[in-house]
Amino acid sequence: MNRRPRLRNGTNAAKVRLVLMSDTHGKHRDVEVPDGDLLIHAGDFTYFNGSTFAIRDFNDWLGELPHRSKVVVPGNHDSGFIDPAYRELITKAILLVNEGTITEGLKIWGSPVTPNDWGAFGPETAEERECLFSRIPEDTDVLITHGPPRGILDGASQQKRPQGCDQVLAAVRRLRPQLHVFGHIHEQYGVFRSPSTLFVNAALAGPEYPVIRRPIGLDLQLRRIQ
C-alpha cells in the first residue's frame, strides 16, 4: 500500500505523523490514541496469545481508529502468529513478519524475532538472526522489531545483562534508518537519539501489565516524495 503523504506547516517538506505503541497485552481499549497518519504497534498486543476472540477484538479496534495506515508486528506473547491462519485474523492493518512494506511514503521493515523468546518465530541462534537481518533492504526508513537493540533502552531491573539483540544493533548501524521502533522491555519506555537514528521504546504496559503510558507521537520527514 502506498499512500500520498501530506504537507505539514505550509512547507514543501512532506512529513508523516506517526503514532507509536507496543506491549498493550490485551488492554488496547484502555489506550488513549492520538490522531496521526500512521499507527505502528511493535508487538505483544495479546497476553500469551489470548483467544481468537481477543485477537479479533484487537483487529476490530484497529479498524475503529482514524489513522490512514496501520502497521503491526507480533511480539513474543503473540507466538500463535507463527501459524499463517492466525495472521489472517489481522485485516485492519499491515502485519509484518520478517518482511517489508511501503506506506505513507515510508519504506518499513518489521520483525517479531527477539532472543530468548521461547523459540517464537525463530531464528534462535545469533547466526540465524544475523542472516535474517542481513536481508533488510538498505533503503529502509523505519525499522520495527519487537525487541530492542543491545544497549539501547533495553535494561531490565531483574536482569543483570542488557536484554537487547546484538544482531539488531548491527543491522541498525548498517542501515541507519530514520526511526527504529520496538518495545518488549516495559521499564525502558522512552526515546534515544543517535546521530543517524531515532530509537523509540514504545512499551505502554508497566511491570504488572496494565497500560500506564501513552503512545508516542512524532513527525517524520520523508527522504523521498512518492
pLDDT in tens, 12-37: 469 999 999 999 999 999 999 999 99
Q: Please name the residue that has the C-alpha cell 520496538.
A: 182
pLDDT of residue 49: 80
The x, y and z cell numbers of residue 71, run together, are 502497521
Q: What is the pLDDT of residue 5?
A: 53
Quick one: which of 14, 74, 9 has its CA closest to 38? 14
Grid coordinates representing 12 are 514543501
Q: For 15-221, which CATH class?
A: alpha beta
Model pTM score: 0.91
**pLDDT (0 to 100) of residue 11:** 44
- Nearest residue to 150 (alpha-carbon basis) of 102, 121, 120, 185: 185
pLDDT surpasses 60 at 153: yes
Angle at which helices 166-175 and 126-133 cross, to 10°: 20
pLDDT in tens, 167-209: 999 999 999 999 999 999 999 999 999 999 999 999 999 988 8
Helix (H, G, I), strand (E, B) or coil at 201: strand
Give me the pLDDT at residue 162, please. 75
Return the pLDDT at 32.
Answer: 97
Give the integer Cα–Cα distance in Å for 38 and 31: 16
Q: What confidence tier does 224 reach under pLDDT thresholds 50, 70, 90?
A: low
Beta-carbon-side half-sphere exposure of residue 221 (alpha carbons within 13 Å)? 6
pLDDT band, residue 133 (cuts 50/70/90): very high
Q: Is the pLDDT of residue 48 over 90?
A: no
Query: Which of 1-10, 56-65, 159-168, 207-216 has the lowest average pLDDT?
Result: 1-10
Cβ partners under 8 Å of residue 220, min gap 6:
15, 16, 18, 106, 141, 142, 178, 179
The arithmetic mean of pLDDT across residues 121-143, rounded, is: 91
Q: What is the pLDDT of residue 17?
A: 98
Cell numbers at residue 194, please? 543517535
Model pLDDT, residue 122: 67
User: Residue 224: what are its φ and ψ, rounded to 5°?
Assistant: -140, 150
When pLDDT is cut at 50, 70 and 90, the band that residue 117 belongs to is low
**Could you tell me which of 66, 13, 64 has the C-alpha nearest to residue 36?**
66
Model confidence pLDDT, tens digit, residues 66-111:
999 999 999 999 989 999 999 999 999 999 999 999 999 999 999 9
Q: What is the pLDDT of residue 51?
A: 82
Q: How far apart are the first and last CA of the chain?
A: 12
Closest CA to 25 of 155, 186, 219, 163: 186
Take residue 116 and report the three cell numbers written for it: 530468548
Residue whose C-alpha is closest to residue 16's, from 68, 73, 72: 68
DSSP string over 111-144: E---TTSTTTTS--SHHHHHHHHTTS-TT-SEEE
CA-to-CA separations, 89 to 31, 83, 85, in angstroms, rounded: 21, 11, 7
